A and B are shown apart, each in its own frame.
Chain A
Amino acid sequence: MIRFIIRRLLWGALLLVIVLALLFVMFRVLPTADPAVLRAGRLQNPKIIAEIRANLGLDKSLPTQFWLYIKGIFLHFDLGFSYYSEAPVKELILNRLPATVSLVFGGSLIWLVTGVGVGIISARRAGSRLDRASMGSALVLVSAPEYWLGLIALYLFASDIGRVHLLPGAGSYAGLTSDPGKWLGSMIMPWLVVAAGTAAIYARLVRGSLIETMSEDYIRTARAKGLSERRVVLRHGMRSAINPIVTVLGLDIGVLLGSSVLVETVFNIPGIGRLNFIAINHADFPIVEGTVLLAALFIIVANIIVDIVYAFLDPRVRYS
C-alpha cells in the first residue's frame, strides 16, 4: 500500500513538471508581447525596460529560465508578481482560496447528499412516477448552464434585486471567520446553483449504478441471509454502487476548485475564479498562469486521492 501511494505521488510530480513545461511555453515562449514592456507601463525607456528584464530573469536563456521557474515553484511555490498590482501572485491566490474552498466544499456536500439520496430512491422505485419526475427534472438541471441558473436565482430570490427578497444576493460574501452568519447566508444561493447540475448527474449515475448492482448474485445472497431490505440496499448495494461516484466526486471537486469562474463571477464571490476572470481582462499573465497551475495541481492531487481511496474501497485493486 505504501509503495502504491509513493508510486502515485511520483507520477503526480512528473505530471506537474509536464504541466509546468506547457505553462512555460504558453506564457513565456509563445506570447509576442514583451512582459518587460508591459510591466514598464508608461515609463518606456530602454534602461528601465532592461532593468525589469534583468529583475524578471528574462535576459537568461530559455532553459535557464525554465529551470529557475520549476525550482521556484517546487521550493517556494513562487508564482511571480502581478503585472498590474505588483503583488505576489501566491499571496493573491492564497487570499482568494477560502472563498473558493467554501463554495466548492459546501456545493459538493449538497450535490453529493441530494444526488445520492435521489438516486437511491429512484433506483428502488424505478419506473414509478416519482422516479420519472426526478429523472426528468435531473435532465433539465443537467442542461441548465450555471451562469443562467445563477442569474435566474438572483432575479428571483436576491434580497436586493429579487422578486422575493429571500437571500443575500451578489457581492454579499463575508469570510467564515469574520462573520459566520453572513458567510452562511451569502453562500446558500451559490451552493445550490453550483450543486444543481452535478447533483442531477450524480442522481442519474447512482440510479443506474444501484439498479445494476441490485441484480448481482451477492444481493440475492444478502436477501437469502435474511437481512432487512434497508441493509441489503445500503450496506450491500450501495457499497458497490458508490465506487463510480467516488471517482467522479474527487475529479469534480478538483476541477471546480480550479475553475469556478462562472458562479464566482455571477455572485461576485472573491474567489480564485473571480481573480482569474479579472486577470484575463487585464492580460495579467502571472495571475492567469498561477491560477491555471493551481487548477492543474488540484486535479492532479484529486486524482491521486481518488486512486488511493479506490484502493481502500475495492480490495481486489489493493493487492494487484
Chain B
Amino acid sequence: MSEQEPLLRVEDLRVEFPTEDGTVHAVDGVTYQVRPGGTLGIVGESGSGKTVAALTILGLTRTQGAQVSGRILFEGKDLIARSEGELRAVRGNDIAMIFQDPLSSLHPFYKVGFQLVEAVRAHQNVSKATARARAVEMLGLVGIPDPDRRADDYPHQFSGGMRQRAMIAMALVNEPKLLIADEPTTALDVTVQAQILALLERLKRELQMAILIITHDLGVVAEMADDVAVMYAGRVVETAPAQQLFTQPQHPYTWGLLRSIPTLNGPREEQLVPIPGTPPSLIRRPTGCHFYPRCAYAKPEHARVDPQLEPVAGSPEHHVACLLSAAERERTWDEITAKNAALKARSALAAPAESP
C-alpha cells in the first residue's frame, strides 16, 4: 500500500473451530494491513469473520480451541508464534481493544476507576495512587465530567455513551499503538455514535495511534477509515483506500452494501436494494466463489473457480476477488450509478414544483 512499513500486517490468516457438526472456517485466508497512525475499516455482515480475526490478533481465540495459521506481524514480529505470556504483555499495552456493548464489557461488580487502575497496573509497575491518578486523567481526557468522583461509580451508574467512553479510556490508558474497535458505536444512540466517533478521531491524533475499526456500517467507514477491507464468509473480497471504495467499488458484494444504505439527500424514489439470501454456512461452504449463490451477476462457471484477491488495473492499492472481468464490472457499476443519477435528476426537477 505504501513504502512505509505497516504497523500490523495480517497474512493469509486462517482460524478454524472444530465443532461436533464439522470444522467452522471462521477466517479463511485473510490478508490486510494497518499503517502506523492510519485507520483501517473492516466491513461485513455478522458472521463474516471480522471479529474472530481481530480477537485472534490478540490471541483471544486461543482459549476457545481455535486452530490458527498464517502470520500476524505486529511491528515486524509474528504474534502467532508468541507464547501466552508474551502476548499478555502486548494485550492492553501495544494493542488494545474495545467492544460493541460497553455495559456487558465492563465488570458489573467493580468500580470504573478500579477497572482502569487494573489495566494500568497490568503493564506498569506503579503504585495504586499513581495508577489511580492516571486513570482519572484518562477519564477526563475522554470527556467524562468530574472524573475523580465518577471513577468511584459502578458501570451501571453510567449512561451508555459514558460507558463506551470509559471503555475507551481503559483501552487507551497505556497509550497503545493500535486500537481495535469492534463495532464501537453499534449499541449506542445515533447522537452518541457521532460523539464517540469524533472522540476516537481526536484521541487518534493526540496519541498518534492506529485504529482497526470493525463495523457493518459504511457510514462509520466513510467517517473514519483511510483504507477499507470488505469481508465476506471469512474472506476479504475487496480492499481499497476508502475514497476509491466509495467511488469505484469493484465487488458485487460491495455494490450490495452500498446500495442497501439510504442517503439523506438522495431521491425519495431511490430504491434500497437488499442483498438477497443469507451468508453461507461456514462449515459447508459453497464451492467456487463464496458469494456465487447471492450474486446477481454470477455466471455458471463461477461456481467452480475460487477467485483470488488481485490488484485492480490502474490502481495498485485496490484489490478485488471477483471472477467478472474488469470491463464487465465497470459497465455494471456505471449502469447502477446512472440509474440512480437519473432518479436523482428527476427528483431534483420535481422538487421546485412541489414547493410553493
Cβ-defined contact, B105 with A226, below 8 A? no
Known: A217-B101, A316-B156. A224 touches B106 (CB 8 A): no
Distance in angstroms between the alpha carbons of A216 and B106 in the assembled complex: 10
Distance in angstroms between the alpha carbons of A228 and B87 in the assembled complex: 11
Distance in angstroms between the alpha carbons of A270 and B55 in the assembled complex: 60
Closest residue of chain A to B87, judged by CB? A226
Q: With a 10 A CB-CB cut-off, give which of A222, A240, A313 has the most chain B CB atoms.
A: A222
Q: Which residues of A contact B89 (CB under 8 A)?
A: 226
Q: Which residues of A contact B84 (CB under 8 A)?
A: 229
A77 at the interface (CB under 8 A from B): no
B90 at the interface (CB under 8 A from A): yes
Cβ-defined contact, B118 with A225, below 8 A? yes
A239 at the interface (CB under 8 A from B): yes
B104 at the interface (CB under 8 A from A): yes
Kindly provide the distance from the CB of B343 to the nearest chain A CB, expressed in whole angstroms.
43
Kindly provide the distance from the CB of A240 to the nearest chain B CB, expressed in whole angstroms.
6
Cβ-defined contact, B110 with A221, below 8 A? no
Cβ-defined contact, B109 with A221, below 8 A? no
Q: Which residues of B contact A217 (CB under 8 A)?
A: 99, 101, 104-105
Known: A220-B99, A221-B105, A315-B109. A226 touches B88 (CB 8 A): yes
Q: Which residues of A contact B97 (CB under 8 A)?
A: 224
Cβ-defined contact, A221 with B107, below 8 A? yes
Interface string of A204-231 (1 = CB under 8 A from B): 0000000000001110111111111100
Q: Which residues of A contact B93 (CB under 8 A)?
A: 226
B219 at the interface (CB under 8 A from A): no
B170 at the interface (CB under 8 A from A): yes
Cβ-defined contact, B106 with A221, below 8 A? yes
Closest residue of chain A to B97, judged by CB? A224
Q: Which residues of A contact B108 (CB under 8 A)?
A: 218, 240, 314-316
A236 at the interface (CB under 8 A from B): yes
B123 at the interface (CB under 8 A from A): yes
Q: Which residues of A contact B92 (CB under 8 A)?
A: 224-227
Cβ-defined contact, B104 with A218, below 8 A? yes
Cβ-defined contact, A224 with B104, below 8 A? no
Distance in angstroms between the alpha carbons of A316 and B90 in the assembled complex: 33
Closest residue of chain A to B180, judged by CB? A224
B60 at the interface (CB under 8 A from A): yes
Closest residue of chain A to B121, judged by CB? A227
> Could you say which of B91, B104, B154 contacts A216, with CB atoms under 8 Å apart?
B104
Kindly provide the distance from the CB of A264 to the nearest chain B CB, expressed in whole angstroms.
38
Distance in angstroms between the alpha carbons of A220 and B96 in the assembled complex: 12
Distance in angstroms between the alpha carbons of A222 and B171 in the assembled complex: 11
Cβ-defined contact, A225 with B109, below 8 A? no
Q: With a 10 A CB-CB cut-off, give which of A223, A225, A229, A314 has the most chain B CB atoms.
A: A225
Q: Which residues of A contact B90 (CB under 8 A)?
A: 226
Distance in angstroms between the alpha carbons of A314 and B99 in the assembled complex: 23
Interface residues of B in 56-85 (CB under 8 A from A): 58, 60, 63, 84
B122 at the interface (CB under 8 A from A): yes
Cβ-defined contact, B99 with A239, below 8 A? no
Q: Which residues of A contact B230 (CB under 8 A)?
A: none
Cβ-defined contact, A239 with B110, below 8 A? yes
Interface string of A224-252 (1 = CB under 8 A from B): 11111100000010011000000000000
Interface string of B97-127 (1 = CB under 8 A from A): 1010100111111100000001100110000
| Interface size, B (range) | 20 to 34
Cβ-defined contact, B154 with A218, below 8 A? no
Q: Which residues of B contact A314 (CB under 8 A)?
A: 108-109
Known: A217-B99, A226-B88. A239 touches B122 (CB 8 A): no
Q: Which residues of B contact A218 (CB under 8 A)?
A: 104-108
> Could you say which of B96, B101, B122 contacts A227, with CB atoms under 8 Å apart?
B122
Distance in angstroms between the alpha carbons of A229 and B122 in the assembled complex: 12
Q: Which residues of B contact A240 (CB under 8 A)?
A: 107-109
Distance in angstroms between the alpha carbons of A220 and B52 in the assembled complex: 13
Distance in angstroms between the alpha carbons of A298 and B227 in the assembled complex: 67
Closest residue of chain A to B174, judged by CB? A226
Kindly provide the distance from the CB of B49 to the nearest chain A CB, expressed in whole angstroms.
17
Kindly provide the distance from the CB of A127 to the nearest chain B CB, expressed in whole angstroms.
10
Distance in angstroms between the alpha carbons of A115 and B96 in the assembled complex: 36
Q: Which residues of B contact A224 (CB under 8 A)?
A: 58, 60, 91-92, 96-97, 171
Q: Which residues of A contact B123 (CB under 8 A)?
A: 226
Distance in angstroms between the alpha carbons of A221 and B97 in the assembled complex: 8
Distance in angstroms between the alpha carbons of A221 and B170 in the assembled complex: 10
Closest residue of chain A to B59, judged by CB? A223
Closest residue of chain B to A220, judged by CB? B60
Distance in angstroms between the alpha carbons of A224 and B174 in the assembled complex: 13
Closest residue of chain A to B156, judged by CB? A316
Q: Which residues of B contact A313 (CB under 8 A)?
A: 109
Closest residue of chain B to A316, judged by CB? B156
Cβ-defined contact, A223 with B109, below 8 A? no
Closest residue of chain B to A320, judged by CB? B156
Q: Which residues of A contact B156 (CB under 8 A)?
A: 315-316
Cβ-defined contact, B104 with A239, below 8 A? no
Cβ-defined contact, A228 with B88, below 8 A? yes
Closest residue of chain A to B100, judged by CB? A217
Q: Which residues of B contact A315 (CB under 8 A)?
A: 108-109, 154, 156
Q: With a 10 A CB-CB cut-off, give which of A220, A222, A224 has the most chain B CB atoms.
A: A224
Q: Which residues of A contact B118 (CB under 8 A)?
A: 225, 227
Closest residue of chain B to A216, judged by CB? B104
A-B residue pairs in contact (CB < 8 Å), sample of 13: A220-B55, A220-B60, A221-B105, A221-B167, A223-B91, A224-B58, A224-B91, A225-B96, A225-B118, A226-B91, A226-B93, A226-B122, A316-B108
Beyond the given pairs A217-B105, A315-B154, 8 more chain A to chain B contacts, judged by CB atoms under 8 angstroms and listed by A's residue number, are A218-B105, A223-B60, A223-B63, A225-B92, A226-B92, A239-B110, A240-B108, A314-B108
